[in-house]
Every structure is written in C-alpha cells, then in structure tokens.
Amino acid sequence: MPPGLTTGSAPAQAAALIAARRPGWAPRAGMILGSGLGGVTAALADATVIPYGDLPGFPVPSVSGHAGRLVLGRLGGVPVACLAGRQHWYEGAGLDGMTVAVRCLRRLGCEMLVLTCAAGSLRPEVGAGRLMMVVDHINLLGANPLTGPNDNAFGPRFPAMAGAWDAGLSARLRRVAARQGVPLAEGVYAAMPGPSFETPAEIRMLARLGADAVGMSMVPECLIARHCGMAVVGCAVITNLAQGEPGLETAEREPVDHERTLAAAGAATAQVARLVAGFLEDWGDDRTGRESVGTG
Ligand code: HPA
C-alpha cells in the first residue's frame, strides 16, 4: 500500500473488491478515458471488466460516451487500471465524483495517471482530429474537489500545483509521439463548467488568458491525483475548433455539439491507444527494477 492510504475508507474498500475480482493484480499506471475514447480499452490485453456500479464510491456517469467501467489489463506491457468514463461537474452530483475512483487507483499502487479527454482547440492551426498534450491547466470551474476537510491520509491541505502536469512524463510522451510520427501539439487546457459550449466572447477571453484548448473535465482528476502523490500526464483529442477564436471566420467552423465531439474522439481512438501503449512501454522499460514514485 502506498504510505498514508489507510484501510477502511471508500477507496480502500473499492480496492479490496478489485483485488478480490483479480487477485494479485498490481496496476502501476491509471488511465481515465474521456468522451468517445472508451474504445481504447479494446487495446488492453488480458482484460478484466468491473462496472463502476460494483465499486463503492465510484460515479455513475450520466452522459453518453462514458461507459462507467473499470478495465484492468496490460497496455504496452504495463499493468494498468483504466477508468472508462468519468463524471463531470455539470452533471450536478458535485465535484468529487471521481475522488474515490482516483484515490482507489493510488491505493492499488498506481504511480501515474494518464488523463485523456475531448477538447475544443483555440489554435486555428490545431484542428479536429489532432492530439494536444496538456502541459498546464487553468481551473475555471469555480470549484475544487479538494474543498472541505482535508484527509491527511491522502495528502496535504495545500498541495502545490506547479508541475502538476509532469514535465518528465510529458517529455517522454513527446519523444514517443515523434517516434510514432504522430503530430502532438502542446498547450494549456482551460476547464470550463459547461454543459453549454462557450460563447465566442468566452473563447476570446480564454485565448487572452493563455489557454490553447478548452473542455469540461480533467482538471478535478489532476487535482485529486496530485494531492495523493500520483504523477499526471495528459492528452486531449481536439474534436473541434472552439467557437470564436480570433482569425477564423464562421464559414470555416463546424458548429460544435456532443455527437460531433463523440465521433471525432472515436475516430482518434486507435491513435490514442497506440500512443499511450508506446508511452507506457517506454516508461515501463525504463522503470523495471526501479522502486520509487518519480517522474520522467
Ligand atoms: N468546449 C468545451 N468542451 C469541449 C469542446 C469545446 O469546444 N469540445 C469538446 N469538449
């Protein structure tokens, strides 16, 4: 057990149930699949599927494109625990919908969390179908899942967020993408509360704030994971150009809607699976025989 993660809590109870379903399974990396990306689980070898409904404290996603299944298996040779589906702030169940699930991954032994999502691009040259590695975020949800009494068993009251998106892991993802010939953009991800898409004025605001992509997820999970000591790396699938970015006229923009988002993310599934598998293989090779949580 990673230090500090006490037994008896919901994450520990969920971890015990998972251990009973798959005795001896010790995932080293966790993964969260965003809208339309659930198909990535097909790339997992030797998979065990556990519905979220069987696991105490796990969310019940209410949005199409989010399956609500934990899939255990190997990707790139690394034992992983993959959360196919997330709960979002806009679903109205609070901001801590993913807290137990993420802490459970840590309790199972995951050192790292790979976050994926669908996002709109604020950079006209990075259009639908492209992948963007997240190098930092701006939390505009107006809320934080770490609000409330702090559980010191998981992490500190005031966790630092400089380096939240791990520079070493990001460099590794960049290298693997280059090796695979996958053009990987990089940028700052702004989390907006949704569920409405942004107005053109909001997109112009986000561009001025320094955002390169916009979405409605990922940031809460990053905060929870960093709080309990997991290294985080992230990749957004660009599903559309965000509405209103400077320099792009209306005729060149497809209207954004959830179905288009799911379709565009679904089309990128095989590429995301291959990239993450290559990344994990590279990481696993390097870390064989090494012990401590670290980055790079
Ligand atoms: N805005 C917010 N979330 C999104 C978008 C967008 O344009 N595309 C996919 N998720």
Predicted pLDDT at 112: 97
CA of 217 to the centre of ligand 1 (A): 10
- What CATH number did the domain enclosing 125 receive? 3.40.50.1580
Q: Is 74 part of any domain?
A: yes
User: How far apart are the C-alpha atoms of 295 and 231, rounded to whole Å?
Assistant: 7
CA of 69 to the centre of ligand 1 (A): 23
pLDDT at 157 over 70: yes
Q: Is 294 part of any domain?
A: no
pLDDT at 210 over 50: yes
Q: For tokens 């693997």, what's the residue? A: 176
Q: Is 232 part of any domain?
A: yes
Predicted pLDDT at 6: 53
What sign does the CA torsion over 282, 169, 74, 27 have?
Answer: positive
Q: For tokens 């198909």, what's the residue? A: 39
Q: Is 206 part of any domain?
A: yes
Out of 10, 16, 19, 90, the active site residue is 90
Q: Which residue ranges have their beta carbon within 6 Å of ligand 1?
A: 118-120, 192, 197-198, 214-216, 239-240, 242, 256, 261
Q: What confidence tier does 293 reach under pLDDT thresholds 50, 70, 90?
A: very low
For 51, the domain range is 10-289
Q: What confidence tier does 67 reach under pLDDT thresholds 50, 70, 90?
A: confident
Contact between residue 81 and residue 108 where contact means Cβ atoms under 8 Å apart: yes
Out of 9, 121, 170, 240, the active site residue is 240
Predicted pLDDT at 295: 55
Predicted pLDDT at 95: 78
Q: Is 21 part of any domain?
A: yes
pLDDT at 195 over 60: yes
DSSP string spanning 195-264? SSPPPHHHHHHHHHHT-SEEESSSHHHHHHHHHTT-EEEEEEEEEEEPTT-TT--GGGPPPP-HHHHHHH
Q: Is 165 part of any domain?
A: yes
Out of 10, 258, 263, 267, the active site residue is 258
Q: Is 69 part of any domain?
A: yes
CA of 140 to the centre of ligand 1 (A): 14
33/1: higher pLDDT: 33
Residue nearest to atom 9 of ligand 1 (CA): 119
pLDDT tens-digit map of 106-123? 999 999 999 999 999 999
- For residue 136, what are the contacts with CB-CB under 8 A and spacing of at least 6? 164, 165, 188, 189
CA of 166 to the centre of ligand 1 (A): 23
Q: Is 3 part of any domain?
A: no
Atom number in ligand 1 closest to CA 240: 8
pLDDT at 234 over 90: yes
Total domain count for the chain? 1
